[in-house]
Amino acid sequence: SALKDSRFPPLTREELPKLFCSVSLLTNFEDASDYLDWEVGIHGIRIEFINEKGVKRTATYLPEVAKEQDWDQIQTIDSLLRKGGFKAPITNDFRKTIKLTR
């Protein structure tokens, strides 16, 4: 993603000394009871949903993403839907159709 991820500009030489690396291990996966059955800063989340074209899509955030962005659960879910390519308006009824794994 440092060079070929279209969501980000490529890294420059000047940025290289400022880089650091970390590893997140996601274990003990659990199916959530609904899209709000997880805690910001504690759980990584993976969602599955059917987009506006009827295609199954998925998207994942590591546990630290929502906390670093200072998002609540709804902001995180909505961002994750957009990350997964959902382009239609996001309603509470649509959020209820999401399958969430934490």
pLDDT tens string 34-89: 999 999 999 999 999 999 999 999 999 999 999 999 999 999 999 999 999 999 99
Res 2: pLDDT? 63
pTM of the model: 0.81
**In which band, very low, low, confident or very high, does the pLDDT at 97 lie, cut at 50, 70 and 90?**
very high
Domain chopping of the chain, boundaries: 45-101
Q: Which residues contact 51 (CB under 8 A, 6 or more apart)?
A: 57, 84, 85, 86, 87, 88
Residues 4, 8: Cα–Cα separation, whole Å: 8
Cα of 50 vs its chain's centroid, Å: 16
Res 1: pLDDT? 61
User: Rounded to 10 degrees, what is the CA torsion of 29, 33, 39, 42?
Assistant: -10
The end-to-end CA distance of the chain, in Å, is 24
CA atoms within 13 A of residue 58's CA, in its CB half-sphere: 6
